[in-house]
Structure 1
Amino acid sequence: MAEKSESLWTRPFLVALLGYFFLFMSVSLFFLLPLFLQRFNPSKSQIGLIMGIHSVMAIGVRPIFGRLIDEKGRRLISLAGILLLMFTVPLFHLVRDAGAFPLLLRALTGLGWGISMTATITMCSDLAPVERLAHSMGIVGVAGLIASALGPLLAEEVVRQFGFRWLFHLSFIFLLASFACIFLTRETARSLNKKNGRQEAMLKLEGLKPLIIFLMASLPLVHGAIRGAMVNFVALFSRSIGLEHVGPFFVTFSLAAILTRFWGGGLSDRYGRKKVIFPAALLIGLNVLFLSQVRNFWMLILAGFIGGFGQGLIFPALSTYVIDTLGRENKGFALSLYLSLFDAGMGLGSPFFGWLSDLFGYRAMYFLAGLTILIFNAFFTLKAPEPLKQLSNSKDS
């Protein structure tokens, strides 16, 4: 009973969480970079390439540095990634076209983001009580959601009042604040893994049956794809049915996800990962089916709320499922693998479901997307094991 009363909200956890929030704020300001690039009259494909290379680099680097996070420590790798961002962001002042130079800078920011984000999230989870891993992951996700909502709003106001020069200044200031927070946070002893952590992580993977590896990888990948289809096309879908205002959908989605993670982020810590993953993915799938039948504004708002509720439940449960399966001593590698799979799903799902919408329309596309995650969720629930040993042994990690 005493363990349940151990507080999540310790000073080290809050300082590290603040560091993650400032890091996310710095990167989210760049959502307005396409407006900066437009002054150079680029093609849409040029802008898409410059913006997209950031995510590609982040996805590619995470599994590599995930192992280093376990071997060298979270704090060191996080600070290294932030330093790379601090080196790169001021160079945007020198951009004079939409060619190779901004493409290189975005690649470097993707590299720094992929390194620092994974290490900082892992560090935050280390500073939480071990029996509240999923809850801590949910709270970290809330910080990211808030930053992703505030960042573009702040960026828009800064650009309107002071221009893009101060946007880059502000991004650097947030990076300084993030670096200070992480630098002042002491790393916990349990986050320092043995030097053979890479071999341990690979042995864990090799020891799993191919079916288990497939199931562990498929649901984050499919979830990312469905999330991409839901978010990236909802504005176009809304316009196609005569709904002009889609902003309230995103606000409702974010608020529902934030509130859910505060009260429900730790449900899988108490009841088991799969017992939360199944209803969360079921809710997401049914909601996407519902989205395919939206006819008016209030149905759209309801779809946003239900979707945010499901997203708020599934992220902490599914990410900690991967961590528990690979072992908490390999937390950095496991978390980087999960985030890479989710982001890859987002990246691959958007063009795939966009292609389906070209062929069959938005309603049919959302219907097929909903069926896809429902099928994978059923398969995962029936065949994937519950990592009970990890849950019961977490106190010793």
Structure 2
Amino acid sequence: MLYTPAFAALFMANLFYVASYSSFFLFPLFITGQGGSHQDIGIIMGVFALASAFCRPWIAEMIDRFGRKRSYTIGCIIMMLLPLFYLLLKGPLTNYYFLLLFLRIVHGVGLAIGFTAVFTFIVDLIPIKRLNEGIGMFGTSGLIGMAIGPMIAEPILQNYGFSAFFFTASGLAGAAFLLQLPIRDKHHLQPSEAQPQPSFFALLKTRKQLVCAGLALLFGFGLAATGNFIAPFATERQLSYVSLYYFAYSCAAVIVRFFVGKVADRIGENQIIPWGIALTATGLLLVPLVHGNLWLLAVGFVFGIGHGLLFPALNAMAVRDEIYAVRGKVTGIFTGGIDSGIFCGALILGMIGEIAGLTTLFICAGLTVLSGLYLFRLKPTVTVKTGR
């Protein structure tokens, strides 16, 4: 059975967890409001992803050894407490630049723990013949959270300021913490899996995981553009509501999951991934054409379709046929690839935006994601066991 009470509880917990994270899509407004530049946005937002990516090998090992549930609880606690520390930041950015970088690092580690743990946890609960459907449907929790985070946080920020904004982000993560408390990790290693297993880096050296990690990195590069630079772009073009983009983006990705998950389990994720790459890249390449709120909505919708196709298919490709004892590591490779791409994208795109402007920034991001079509061709040739 796929849709169990544990699945539902993790679904809701992840929704609020991601809402807390996505509310910080508006954090670049804090940076620029305190005198920061586009390059500062790239550094400050990027160090969050850098910390999340660099700690992933140890987090992945921890999840396989310490357990999915305990690891997810720790991640929720960090995500709940860290936004409150941003309340200490007062005055010009230069007064607390290094303190802010430290807070972003710890915040990124918290996200990495929870994100890796929950996706490992949910794969344990999904019947293998419904892997694409299960990952896709569970992933809608994150997409809904990604939409409601900025939608909740933006009016609070506009009406009450950044202090209320930080309390809101903390409260959203607190809801995730409470929702996951009753869940128990009932899975245990089988005797055949108790023997020493490949390390994180040994798994990363395999051709399959290298390709998965590379595609995840390129996808993360695209996410860096949408997560860090849509808000400044909308401000530059004098568009009213940044949250419209994220609303359309998330709605599209959720709608896609309802129709594509079962199809992907029948035909295999290898047939879905190229379409996901192409549509994700198209959504980025269309951003420079946006001059009104309706266009912002439309471009977000296109990018959301790409995301809705690409994320679950890549995740399914990474974990398919992997045993319980290494799923934490494999999920860590996949999610760490995304975070590495987000870091590289934030840093590189921040410099591009500073030198050449936001239009060039989004064109470069789109072309980078599009290069994934070539990388995908290097995947090992395997027969995918579908639900047919």
SS for the counterpart of 1:312 is helix
Q: Partner amino acid for 2:380?
A: P
CA contact (8 A) 1:224 1:345 kept: yes
**Corresponding position of 1:331:** 327
Using a 3 Å threshold, how does the CA distance of structure 1 residues 198 and 71 change in structure 2: closer, same or farther? farther
% same residue: 27
SS for the counterpart of 1:184 is coil
Q: CA deviation at 1:287?
A: 5.2
CA contact (8 A) 1:226 1:346 kept: yes
Distance 1:339 1:388 in 2: 24
- Answer with 67-76 or 326-335: which moved more: 326-335
**Corresponding position of 1:17:** 11
1:135 equivalent to 2:133? Answer yes
Distance 2:252 2:358 in 1: 24
Task: Give deviations 1:335-394, integer Å, cap 9, x for gaps.
Answer: 22112212222332345456667888777766665555444314423x3135436x46x9
Consecutive unaligned residues in structure 1, runs of 5 or more: 1-5
**Corresponding position of 1:341:** 337
Residue pairs, 1:1-397, within 5 angstroms: 6=1, 8-33=2-27, 41-44=34-37, 49-96=43-90, 98-99=95-96, 100-159=98-157, 164-189=162-187, 194=193, 199=198, 202-206=201-205, 208-209=206-207, 212=208, 214-229=210-225, 244=239, 247=242, 248-286=244-282, 288=284, 301-324=297-320, 327=323, 329-352=325-348, 370-381=366-377, 383-388=378-383, 391=385
Output the TM-score relative to the length of structure 1.
0.77
Using a 3 Å threshold, how does the CA distance of structure 1 residues 87 and 304 change in structure 2: closer, same or farther? closer
Distance 1:170 1:235 in 2: 19
Task: Give deviations 1:246-302, integer Å, cap 9, x for gaps.
Answer: 744443322211211222234332211211112222333455556677798766654
Answer with 1 or 2: which has the greater Rg.
1
Distance 2:367 2:284 in 1: 9
CA contact (8 A) 2:221 2:368 kept: no
Distance 2:364 2:44 in 1: 31
Q: Partner amino acid for 2:14?
A: Y
Task: Give deviations 1:306-358, integer Å, cap 9, x for gaps.
Answer: 32212110110012211227555422212221122122223323454566678
Q: State the structure with bigger RCO (CA 8 A, min sep 6), 1 or 2.
A: 2
Cα RMSD for the two superposed structures: 3.9
Q: Partner amino acid for 1:314?
A: L
Distance 1:238 1:151 in 2: 17
Q: CA deviation at 1:124?
A: 2.6
Using a 3 Å threshold, how does the CA distance of structure 1 residues 191 and 101 change in structure 2: closer, same or farther? farther
SS for the counterpart of 1:177 is helix
Q: CA deviation at 1:14?
A: 0.6
**Number of positions where the alignment pairs a residue of Structure 1 with one of Structure 2:** 380
Task: Give deviations 1:13-62, integer Å, cap 9, x for gaps.
Answer: 111111222222333444455666778x5544666654443222212222
Distance 1:360 1:237 in 2: 13
Distance 2:140 2:341 in 1: 21
CA contact (8 A) 1:71 1:197 kept: no
Output the TM-score relative to the length of structure 2.
0.79
Q: CA deviation at 1:158?
A: 3.6
Q: Partner amino acid for 2:142?
A: G
